[in-house]
Amino acid sequence: MKLISEELLDGVTHEAQESPRLRMNYNFHESLDAPIHRLLNALEPGTYLPPHRHRDKEETYVVLRGSLLAFFYDDLGNVTEKVNLSPSAGVYGLEIPSGTWHSIIALESGTVIFEIKSGPYRPLPLEDIAPWAPAPSDLESAAVYMKRMLEV
């Protein structure tokens, strides 16, 4: 049995806060080759997840604590939808259809999501990372981009 507890959420949150990327996964699946990936993803404000898509799988997020904004885009990078996921507001999660450009921004320290998607893990090909958004390595541009997204 694997228990999702406050202690586990606190532990993965602490690891995210200590990480230069300001996020940390806790995997429930046994290996990256597992057919279904189930994980906690602790996200701190300022972490940058570049807009991307998964052409071969759906992705489900359930917010366990904290809050975030989920963005959906067209192929040119225009925001088509923005959703605030927050258990305190009664909006807990969403399923992202395959092929959909998306990104998320953590709004609160201590935000943790439960994420489910098909495996096995394969790095995203370059064509599935948005060419119209900053690269993850460009931290300054990423910060400007996230600030602009918060104003959308």
pLDDT tens for residues 21-40? Answer: 999 999 999 999 999 999 99
User: Which region holds residue 104: left if phi is over 0, alpha if psi is between -120 and 50, else beta?
Assistant: beta
pLDDT confidence of residue 63? 98
Summarize pLDDT for 125-151 with one digit per residue, the tens.
999 999 999 999 999 999 999 999 999
Contacts for 60 with CB less than 8 Å, ≥ 6 apart? 93, 94, 95, 96, 115, 116, 117
Q: Output the pTM of the full model.
A: 0.95
Provide the CATH topology of domain 6-151: Jelly Rolls (2.60.120)
Share of the chain above pLDDT 70, in %: 100
pLDDT confidence of residue 129? 96
* Residue of 51, 53, 27 whose CA lies nearest to 105: 51
Helix (H, G, I), strand (E, B) or coil at 23: strand
pLDDT band for position 91 (cuts 50, 70, 90): very high
pLDDT confidence of residue 16? 98
pLDDT band for position 112 (cuts 50, 70, 90): very high
Domain boundaries, the chain: 6-151
pLDDT band for position 84 (cuts 50, 70, 90): very high
Count of Cβ atoms closer than 10 Å to residue 5 Cβ? 9
Share of the chain above pLDDT 90, in %: 98
Q: Percentages helix, strand, coil for the chain, rounded to the nearest 5?
A: 20, 35, 45
